[in-house]
């Protein structure tokens, strides 16, 4: 088996979503044995060596079965935008618990699709370390912060390893000025996830999920060296075209989380 293929199968949740489809294609093409799952049907041709099983993250028994014999779980399923608390609760909190219970039973590593929205209320003028306080910008970001804390608990208590990837903006290309900082290319994501699975020992590590963007002055000091990853792509070629594409909302423009910070914002005295 080539060096960049895990010896055991890998479970991918959220396989039918935007990033799940990217990873299914790229990791499948690299020869990984993937078990894909999502509540929605998988819309693409199944990669060689992959299976797809429809399941709700709320179904803990289904997740235990799906994870059987897996060496890693790439957890990309769940609500991926800001929504009311009750909508986030099932998929992102209870579902996450089911993922971690499956990982505990299999002694599998979890690669968790965390988010910049777990630290969204840090100001863009700051430069923060991976160990700086979580500062979620809504119920969605809060669910990502909770996920990272759950992963830490499973590491301390059960020795389940995790890599928390705090994804910035992972799209085909950046589309506004904020993403000149937060953009993560699909290829950089694939290489990051590959290293997160294959690295020898990761403990409970955090990696900022952004490409090599000149405007990315917000984030530093994470566990990328431990997993052996460095971004190769960059949003910089889009700088001239996007630098003025900003909103006129002072909350959105002040904080790292951008538009999510402004959703339902009601602080009477304005930004802190």
Ligand X SMILES: NC(=O)c1ccc[n+]([C@@H]2O[C@H](COP(=O)([O-])OP(=O)(O)OC[C@H]3O[C@@H](n4cnc5c(N)ncnc54)[C@H](O)[C@@H]3O)[C@@H](O)[C@H]2O)c1
Catalytic residues: 140
List the one residue from 26, 80, 176, 234 that touches ligand X (CB under 6 A).
80
Residue 170 binds to ligand X (criterion: CB under 6 A): yes
Residues 6+ apart with CB under 8 A from 267: none
CA 260 to chain centre: 16
- Span 101-120, contacts to ligand X by CB under 6 A: 113, 115
Closest to ligand X by CB, 36 vs 202, is: 36
Total count of residues recorded for the chain: 272
Closest separation between CB of residue 207 and ligand X, Å? 13
Q: How far is the CB of 195 from ligand X (least distance, A)?
A: 17
Position among 10, 11, 19, 197 found at the interface with ligand X (CB under 6 A): 19
Binding flag, residue 73, ligand X (CB under 6 A): no
Question: What gap in Å lies between CA 168 and CA 181, rounded to an integer?
Answer: 8
Question: 18 or 225: whose CB is closer to ligand X?
Answer: 18
What is each CA distance from 262 to 177, 212, 251, 256, in whole angstroms? Answer: 17, 27, 6, 11
Among 26, 162, 169, 211, binds ligand X (CB under 6 A): 169
Q: Does 207 bind ligand X (CB under 6 A)?
A: no
> 202: which DSSP letter?
-
Distance, in Å, from the CA atom of 92 to the CA atom of 78, rounded to the nearest integer, reads: 5
Considering the complex, what minimum distance in angstroms separates the CB of residue 132 from ligand X? 18
By C-alpha distance, which of 174, 194, 198, 193 is closest to 185?
174
Q: CB under 6 A: which stretch of 50-58, 194-202, 213-221, 264-272 binds ligand X?
A: 50-58
Size of the site for ligand X (CB under 6 A): 24
Any idea what DSSP says for residue 237?
G
Site for ligand X (CB under 6 A): which residue of 42, 76, 100, 238? 76
As measured in angstroms, the least distance from the Cβ of 206 to ligand X is 13
By the rule CB under 6 A, 190 interacts with ligand X: no
Residue 238 is classified by DSSP as G
Helices (H), 159-254: 179-182, 186-198, 224-227, 239-242, 250-254
CA quadruple 45, 47, 53, 59: dihedral sign: negative
CB hemisphere CA count around 12 (13 angstroms): 30
Instruction: For residue 61, state whether it binds ligand X (rule: CB under 6 A).
Output: no
Counting beta carbons within 10 angstroms of the beta carbon of residue 104, is it exposed (0 to 12), middle (13 to 18) or buried (19 or more)? Answer: middle
The least distance separating ligand X from the CB of residue 268, rounded to whole angstroms, comes to: 30
Complex with ligand X: residue 204 or 256, whichever CB lies closer: 256
Closest contact distance (angstroms) between CB of 71 and ligand X is 20
Question: Which residue of 6, 9, 77, 120 would you call a contact of ligand X, by CB under 6 A?
Answer: 77
Residue 91 makes contact with ligand X by CB under 6 A: yes
Which parts of this chain interact with ligand X (CB under 6 A)?
A: 14, 16-20, 38-40, 56-58, 76-80, 91, 95, 113, 115, 167, 169-170
């Amino acid at each position: 088996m080539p060096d960049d293929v895990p010896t055991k199968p890998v479970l991918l949740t959220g396989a039918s979503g935007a990033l799940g489809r990217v990873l299914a294609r790229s990791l499948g093409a690299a020869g990984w044995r993937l078990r894909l799952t999502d509540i929605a049907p998988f819309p693409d041709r199944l990669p060689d060596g992959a299976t797809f099983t429809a399941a709700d993250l709320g179904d803990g028994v289904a997740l235990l079965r799906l994870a059987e014999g897996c060496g890693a779980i790439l957890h990309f399923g769940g609500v991926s935008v800001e929504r009311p608390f009750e909508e986030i609760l099932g998929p992102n909190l209870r579902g996450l618990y089911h993922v971690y219970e499956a990982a505990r039973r299999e002694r599998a590593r979890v690669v968790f699709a965390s988010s910049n929205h777990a630290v969204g209320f840090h100001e863009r003028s700051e430069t923060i370390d991976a160990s700086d306080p979580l500062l979620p910008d809504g119920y969605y970001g809060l669910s990502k912060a909770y996920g990272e804390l759950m992963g830490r608990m499973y590491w301390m208590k059960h020795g389940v390893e995790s890599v928390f990837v705090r994804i910035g903006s992972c799209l085909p290309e950046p589309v506004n000025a904020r993403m000149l900082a937060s953009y993560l290319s699909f290829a950089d994501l694939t290489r990051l996830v590959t290293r997160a699975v294959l690295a020898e020992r990761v403990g409970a590590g955090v990696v900022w999920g952004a490409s090599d963007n000149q405007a990315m002055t917000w984030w530093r000091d994470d566990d990328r060296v431990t997993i052996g990853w460095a971004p190769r792509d960059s949003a910089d070629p889009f700088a001239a075209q996007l630098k003025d594409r900003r909103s006129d909302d002072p909350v959105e423009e002040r904080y790292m989380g951008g538009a999510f910070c402004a959703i339902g914002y009601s602080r009477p005295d304005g930004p802190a």
